[in-house]
Amino acid sequence: MKTTRLLIIGGSDAGILAALRAREMDPGLEITLVASDAYPNYSICGLPFFLGGEVADWKSLAHRTREDIERENIRLLLEHEVIAIEPGTRRVEIREPGGRTRMTSYDRLILATGAVSARPDIPGLDSPGVFFLRWMRDGFALHEYLEERRPRSALIVGGGYIGMEMAEAFRERGMVATLVESSPSVLKNLEPELGAVLREELERHRVRVIPGTRVTALENFGDGLSAAGSNGFEANADLVLVAAGSRPRIDLAETGGIRLGPTGAVRVDRRMRTNLPDVYAAGDCAETWHRLLERPVWLPLGSTSHRQGRVAGENAAGGDREYAGTLGTQVVRVFNLVAARTGLIQREAEEAGFEARTIPFNAWDHKAYYPGAGTLHMRLTGDEAGRRLLGAQIVGPIGAQVAKRIDILASALFHGMRMDELEDLDLSYTPPLSSPFDPIQMAAQHWMKGKS
């Protein structure tokens, strides 16, 4: 009986999880994974903490070692690059480390090529001292610069998750940090009032924040760089980090006849199948099904990539599993605060056609008489018509269990709960950690008061 050959392109979260799940499903499957670098299954999300010194050894960022993966009888072709897909003959062209190319056949294929850093249209983006942070090699290049040059100042272009985490990393190194964001507030996927809370935290730790400003030019100036932007912005820095988001890496998909969706990412169904027979896609290169919106979106998150990878691997090995969908649940630490969201914010809910209402609500994270109580800044978004929970945002101090609480709300969203049903949840209580009604239940009660 002929052995089925599964070829996976991409060695980050989705690709590795697909390989491991396929192996669980079919011990006899011939699995080959092609990765363009030498670092399969490393936590890219951990790079800011390595660069800031909180994680001492970059090797500890590995979810699994190469030996762990190969122990599962998965063949790794590291520092190999797939340069073309021929779906008609079920072959791919691979460039080896020395530059020689060869053809390899497959029976089933999983595309897990991830995303690439967005490159805004800024003259001077390729100047020495300008960095991006997407892959391990990006982290190594920046780390080497930090260790050898000992820069004293950094300019960060972009106020999203990476931008804020790197602002903290640079401050941990004693550097002067300036963060420039084109939107009116940092972390624009939160309501602006919560972005203002985060800006205050950044500035409290002496990060200069310049919102509503677009960097328009970079130029080498002496040993560093000079930057110019809108609203008369000018600054000098020893290095520049561009953290302006990402876009799906779809070059192979385009040339291989794999259909793209309206988001610009690979179009897949809920079984992670593309338009081509026996070709799947997962992770940051692919669209994802949104559980609330009930349509494909592009949400490049590590958690999403893990789940999509397992679904793709299971189905490529003969299974029949559907991806349950994403809610865009996210969390980030900003110095002594934690910010999290799940579901839709007011603007997104309105654009989706919901009769949405968002209420602000602040509460102590635990009983105020117990020492150390901190403020939770919350926003709950619900549908006026059916009282259905649509989304939630929380900003609060480390130790206030922000991540736990957003996960409760994400679970409620996943199961389509109404606002009044949140009150019925049997949640844990002790004075040092919560209240008899948890703050998220208080917020739901406050939202319900607006109903007549």
If you ran DSSP here, which 8-state letter would residue 60 be given? G
Residue position matching structure tokens 């970059």: 58
Tokens standing for residue 33: 């994974």
Output the CA–CA distances (angstroms, integers) from residue 155 to 164, 177, 200, 274, in the order listed: 12, 6, 18, 40
Here the tokens at position 13 are: 């979260």
Q: What are phi and psi of 244, to 5 degrees?
A: -100, 25
Neighbour count for residue 82 (Cβ, 10 Å): 22
Radius of gyration of the chain (CA): 23
What is the rounded CA–CA span in Å between residue 345 and residue 341? 9
Residue 410 CB: number of other CB atoms within 10 A?
20
The beta strand positions in 52-175, using DSSP E, are 74-78, 81-86, 91-95, 101-105, 108-111, 115-117, 130-131, 153-157
Q: How far is it, in rounded angstroms, from Cα 197 to Cα 380? A: 17
Catalytic residue among 24, 30, 37, 45: 45
Pairing mode, strands 30-35 and 5-9: parallel
- In angstroms, rounded to a whole number, what is the distance separating the alpha carbons of residues 78 and 96? 9
Distance CA 159, CA 168 (A): 12
CB 377 within 8 A of CB 341: no
Rounded (5°) CA angle 371-375-379: 155
- For residues 63 and 40, give the distance between their C-alpha atoms in angstroms, rounded to a whole number: 9
Distance CA 404, CA 421 (A): 18
Neighbours of 334 (CB within 10 A): 23
What are phi and psi for residue 136, nearest 5 degrees? -55, -40
List the beta bridge partners of residue 130.
240
45 is catalytic: yes
Using CA atoms, how far apart are residues 407 and 412, in angstroms rounded to an integer?
8
Query: Which amino acid is present at 398?
Result: I
User: What are the catalytic residues?
Assistant: 45
